[in-house]
Each structure stands twice: as C-alpha cells, then as structure tokens.
Structure 1
Amino acid sequence: MEEPVEDRTWDQVGQIRKWLDTEAEDVGQARVRLMRVLKIGEELGEVAEAVHGALGANPRKGHSHTWTDVEKELVDTIVTAMVALDTIAPDARHAFQDRLDALVERVVPVP
C-alpha cells in the first residue's frame, strides 16, 4: 500500500534536510537555522524573476520565462520553506498542519 501524499511529502522534506545537514559546514545550529530561513527570500526572488519573464516585463530580456517556470520556482520556494520549518520545529509536520487548520478556520465560512 502506498503511503499518503502528505506523509511522503514530509518524509521527502526530511530527506532533503538531512542531506543539507550532512553537507553543511560546521557553523553552528543557530546559523544553519538562519541561513535556511533566509534561503526562502532567495527563492522568492527567483519566483519574481520568472513572473517578470513570463509577462515580458523586462524590456531588456523580453519573454524569458514561461508560467511553467513560475510554477517550478513556486514549488522550490515552498519546499525551501518546508525544509526551514523542518529545521527549526521539533515536529514540522504538525506545526504546519496546525497552522494550516487555523488559517482555514479563519477564512473559510462554516456551512
């Protein structure tokens, strides 16, 4: 039986985090946490660049990206944020789900 997608997703995020942990220089846990959170901003910049390219908003570069490129960059940003959360939260899966539940409860009307 195949495991649910949400479980597989967090397992894969954990694999990426563990790989990053083994590849990271010994700079201390505080700095690793900081760098992983800051990486989200770098990825967001790549989303912005792709949107500009998809819209042809930069006259110097023209239509340098597609909306598929934007999708890929958004996924990279989401995964980067998940890895950062997995780095700082003792139970990232539940921290994410608890916060998502609260956001849905706040914005989705109860029938």
Structure 2
Amino acid sequence: MSDTPSSSTTASADAPSALWGAVEDLVRWLDRESVLPPEQERLLRILKLSEEAGEVAQAVIGATGQNPRKGHSHTWDDVHSELCDVILTAMVALRTLTPEAQGVFEGHLRRVAERVPSPRGGAGA
C-alpha cells in the first residue's frame, strides 16, 4: 500500500480553504449588491438562518407526508438541499460578523469534538 496521498485525500485537505474561499466570494458579492446600512445587513444575514431552518422543517414535513393537504410534496434530497442552505447561510453570517470566520469555526469545532467521549471512555479522541 502506498504512503502517497490519493487525489481525493489531497482534495479533501484543500476543501476547507476552497469552502471558505467560496464563502468569502459570496460575502463580497452580497456586500457589493446590498443597498442597506452595514448594521442592518448584518442583522438580516443572521435572521436569514431562521428562514432557512423553516425551509428545512417544511421539506421534512413534505418528505414524510405529514401535511394531509399537500401529501408528499418534498423528497429527502430536498431536505439535504435545505440543510446545505442552512449551513451555507450560517457560514456567510459568521463571515459577515468576523473576518476570522474559518478560525472561529475550526476552534469551536475542536472544542465540541473534545467533549465527545472517545471509544475508550474518555473525553476527546
């Protein structure tokens, strides 16, 4: 077995940078197109999360057919897409609040991961 990383491993290592680069591009575009004062724009980007979370709920209800009037109006692929919208919207909101969004997120993720018990029974891995 080779010790050389496969292209998928290399691509995975670059994925966070590419992801946050795309978020940066979205924030720049939104900033450029906004006609609102920066404070209002910042608040609305945070509130957009609630709208997107509501769309996830709507898609789950549609995928499970829980609304008798609408039936199965969504698929689980729709739920996946809406969840991605929530994640992306949160990333844009975080980047809007701080230029250090990637570091803030990675630090938070690390702290959360440290609280997860390892398979050997201790906290962290």
Counterpart amino acid of residue 56 in structure 2? V
Counterpart amino acid of residue 33 in structure 2? E
RMSD: 1.5
2:33 paired with 1:39: no
C-alpha distance in structure 2 between counterparts of 1:68 and 1:89, whole Å:
32
Please name the residue that 1:77 is paired with: 86
- Aligned 1:60-71 pairs, distance under 5 A: 60-71=69-80
The one-character-per-residue Cα deviations of 1:48-96 (angstroms, maximum 9, x if unpaired) are 0000000000001000000000000000110000000000013000000
Please name the residue that 1:18 is paired with: 28
C-alpha distance in structure 1 between counterparts of 2:117 and 2:100, whole Å:
26
The structure-2 alpha-carbon separation of the partners of 1:23 and 1:108, relative to structure 1 and needing over 3 Å to count, comes to farther
Unaligned runs of 5+ in 2: 1-9, 119-123
The one-character-per-residue Cα deviations of 1:5-25 (angstroms, maximum 9, x if unpaired) are 111000001111111111111
The TM-score with structure 2 as length reference comes to 0.83
Q: Pick from 95, 101, 108: which aligns with 2:104?
A: 95
**Percent identity for Structure 1 against Structure 2:** 47
Counterpart amino acid of residue 16 in structure 1? L
The structure-2 alpha-carbon separation of the partners of 1:18 and 1:108, relative to structure 1 and needing over 3 Å to count, comes to farther
Counterpart amino acid of residue 31 in structure 2? D
Structure 1 residue 106, shift from structure 2 partner = 1.1
Aligned residues: 110
For the residue of structure 2 that corresponds to 1:65, the secondary structure is coil
Counterpart amino acid of residue 58 in structure 2? E
C-alpha distance in structure 2 between counterparts of 1:42 and 1:7, whole Å:
27
Q: Over alpha carbons, which structure has the higher Rg?
A: 2
